[in-house]
Amino acid sequence: MTAQSLDGVELASQFRFGQRGVNLFVADDMQQNRRSALAPFEFWDQMVQAAAPIRNGAVTERADRITVRHGPRRNARDGAESKGAVVAQAVIIGAGPAGLMAAEELSAAGHDVLVAEAKPSVGRKFLMAGKSGLNLTKDEPLETLLQSYGDAANWLRPMIADFDATGVQRWAQGLGQEVYTGTTGRVFPTVMKASPLLRAWLSRLEAAGVQIRTRWRWLGWDRDALLFETPDGEQRLAPDVTILTLGGASWARLGSDGQWAKILGDAGVATAPFAPANAALSVGWSDHMQPYFGSPLKSVRWKAGKLQSRGEATISATGLEGGGMYSLTPALREGAPLYLDLLPDLDLAALQSRLDRKKSKTTLSQWLKKSLRLPPQKIALFHEMTKSNGLPQARWPEALKYLPIRYDSLRPMDEAISTAGGIKRTALDGGLMLTAIPGVFCAGEMLDWEAPTGGYLLTACLATGKWAGRSAAEWLQAR
């Protein structure tokens, strides 16, 4: 078997059989070949052969690309699972960070857990987040951290207090990942990518007996059973507890398509409409801006409505993108005008006196470049916006501090880093269980909260996933 990797991650799927509890981990090539990783039977002979050398203890061997591990089985239900029948006490739907965290929590409480994922592999958005370094959290005191969740802060407080920035860092370190904190407090894995962390996490989950089913799309409920579309046809599962961690409604190609909102709405669960959060802006540039596509705007301050940010942005072919404006999305969604301070460390009076000293033969561009030392992309943007806004020379100093950025709209929601909207907090109890559907818990970005980039998104997804997992375990215990 020749394993191919997806996004650089060799994912493993687990098969368990026999009284002695041999676990077989088969690389993702079965999925790449469009075979269900849940149909191990075609590979049965190969697996049995691969398992043959295993005798005792935690021996791990590789046979081609098949990894074979030996360990005790954890659950009494294992016998029923050996050839086809799927049994799980707890089903988690959606294998992003929230779902995997919920799985870990339930499994640690001793429950039999199955994670169902619609895509051919797990954690696709998490891996995408890794492409920009994987900002795991922000190293801030709890109260500062919570401020970034706006009016959802009080709701999320107990969950994030239980798994705060320190908790996230310890968790990553526990998975063998070194982390470092940048100058702004953002925390990243030292390797600046998600794949080693995800690989270690999946191994730990699999070793704990968590079953992962990919290409299993949840379609809703068929009476009391969860209904899935799978490569082997429809499957129905009736677990004791379900956790939904289906993500928001952006980057649908990575799995989070928001289609669950209709299923839950039909089931009487209150949801707020999705809206882009952390979104880029569409700007209709003149041809003069073309040479600056891809250029960063550093040392600037953005303002929209009551929000402001000193983050960077990049001039793109379609407009402006980057953390600097993402955090303004709640105001920009409402159509608030956007202003840019090109020189946040120089006040208006100082600028005016520099302009007063400008020699008459010095052009504006020369003055911006030589006296103010603005880089070419800032000068180009200044020209672009003063011209399109018809700002006269007399207003240049003011325009440098308060440049109106004419924009058309936010970029489409599917391009947004995250989405606002989702399951309303009034639809959930304190343990994140749906009050309309007892035994069904929810976590992650599918809940109605939003936060800027900076590690706040993953922190809340992990914290709510952990909280929902623990609440579900307590609910099972109390039954």
Ligand X SMILES: Cc1cc2nc3c(=O)[nH]c(=O)nc-3n(C[C@H](O)[C@H](O)[C@H](O)COP(=O)(O)OP(=O)(O)OC[C@H]3O[C@@H](n4cnc5c(N)ncnc54)[C@H](O)[C@@H]3O)c2cc1C
| Shortest separation between residue 445's beta carbon and ligand X, angstroms | 4
Q: Give the residue with the Cβ less far from ligand X, 67 or 137.
A: 137
Candidate ranges 59-67, 74-82, 129-137, 336-344; the one touching ligand X (CB under 6 A): 129-137
Distance CA 26, CA 38 (A): 10
Query: Applying CB under 6 A, which of residues 37, 47, 92, 116 lies at the interface with ligand X?
Result: 116
Distance CA 428, CA 270 (A): 9
Query: Applying CB under 6 A, which of residues 134, 297, 328, 442 lies at the interface with ligand X?
Result: 134
Asked if 132 touches ligand X (CB under 6 A), the answer is yes
**Residue 206 tokens, joined:** 């699999």
Query: Applying CB under 6 A, which of residues 99, 276, 311, 330 lies at the interface with ligand X?
Result: 99
| Shortest separation between residue 319's beta carbon and ligand X, angstroms | 17
Distances (CA, A) of 288 to 142, 293, 396, 417: 46, 10, 20, 29
| Shortest separation between residue 125's beta carbon and ligand X, angstroms | 4
Distance CA 443, CA 448 (A): 10
Query: Applying CB under 6 A, which of residues 12, 47, 91, 93 lies at the interface with ligand X?
Result: 93
Which residue's Cβ has the minimum distance to ligand X?
A: 255
Asked if 245 touches ligand X (CB under 6 A), the answer is yes
Token pair 């098969």 is found at: 15
Asked if 327 touches ligand X (CB under 6 A), the answer is no
Asked if 119 touches ligand X (CB under 6 A), the answer is yes
| Shortest separation between residue 136's beta carbon and ligand X, angstroms | 7
Query: Applying CB under 6 A, which of residues 239, 323, 421, 455 lies at the interface with ligand X?
Result: 455
Distance CA 15, CA 73 (A): 12
Compose the 406-445 pattern: x for residues touching ligand X by CB under 6 A, - for all others. -----------xx-------------------------xx
Q: Give the residue with the Cβ less far from ligand X, 135 or 169.
A: 135
Asked if 340 touches ligand X (CB under 6 A), the answer is no
Asked if 117 touches ligand X (CB under 6 A), the answer is yes
Number of residues that bind ligand X (CB under 6 A): 36
Taking a C-beta distance cutoff of 8 angstroms, is the pair 106, 472 a contact? Answer: yes
Residues 183-242 that bind ligand X (CB under 6 A): 217-218
Burial 96-121 (b: 16+ CB within 10 A, else e): bbbbbbbbbbbbebebbbbbbbbbbb
Query: Applying CB under 6 A, which of residues 124, 193, 215, 401 lies at the interface with ligand X?
Result: 124
Q: Give the residue with the Cβ less far from ligand X, 98 or 313.
A: 98
Query: Applying CB under 6 A, which of residues 247, 276, 323, 397 lies at the interface with ligand X?
Result: 247
Neighbour tally for 303: CB within 10 Å: 18
Distance CA 139, CA 185 (A): 5
Query: Applying CB under 6 A, which of residues 71, 97, 330, 422 lies at the interface with ligand X?
Result: 97
Candidate ranges 43-51, 69-77, 232-240, 249-257; the one touching ligand X (CB under 6 A): 249-257
Query: Applying CB under 6 A, which of residues 69, 125, 199, 470 lies at the interface with ligand X?
Result: 125
Query: Applying CB under 6 A, which of residues 25, 43, 201, 260 lies at the interface with ligand X?
Result: 260
Q: Which positions lie near ligand X, rule CB under 6 A?
A: 93-99, 116-119, 124-126, 128-129, 132, 134-135, 217-218, 245-247, 251, 255-256, 260, 417-418, 444-445, 455, 457-458, 461
